[in-house]
Amino acid sequence: MIEIQVIARDGSEQTISAAPGTSLMEALRNNGYDELLALCGGCCSCATCHVYVEQGADGTQQVSSPDEDDLLESSQHRQVNSRLSCQMQLHDAANGLVVRIAPED
């Protein structure tokens, strides 16, 4: 299992576990983070699963796709470390990842 530290919108922190091969969005939703709307279900078409990668584990600094980049461009809260959690596939190297759920647009 992969351990990920999550910082919720209210500032509370929790470490969650996820199986390799799942997306970060699925891991967050499976662990009760309903504030992460993920309206499109992970199809990279809505940007409601926006997170900030506060601390990346080895191999997690993936480059966003042009589609992901376009969606993030429409967010009022985009930062350099913004990612769509539906586009981040978890693997063993992601152990120790720290993410913050971005404010809702």
pLDDT in tens, 51-81: 999 987 654 556 688 999 999 999 999 999 9
Closest CA to 23 of 90, 84, 91: 90
Taking only the tens place, the pLDDT of each residue in 84-96 is 999 999 999 899 9
Question: How many domains is the chain built from?
Answer: 1
Put residue 11 in one of left, alpha, beta given phi > 0 → left and psi -120 to 50 → alpha.
Answer: left
- At 54, give phi and psi (nearest 5°): -75, -35
How much is the average pLDDT of 17-27? 96
List, in sequence order, the alpha helices (H) in the chain: 24-30, 66-73
CATH of the domain at 54: 3.10.20.30
How much is the average pLDDT of 34-42? 90
| CA pair distance 96, 68, nearest whole angstrom | 23
Q: DSSP for 28-47, please give it.
A: HHHTT-TTS--TTSSSSSS-
Q: Are 8 and 35 in contact (CB under 8 A)?
A: yes
Quick one: pLDDT band at residue 105, thresholds 50, 70, 90?
confident
> Which pLDDT belongs to residue 65?
87
> Which pLDDT belongs to residue 16?
98
Domain that holds residue 84: 2-101
> Which pLDDT belongs to residue 54?
93
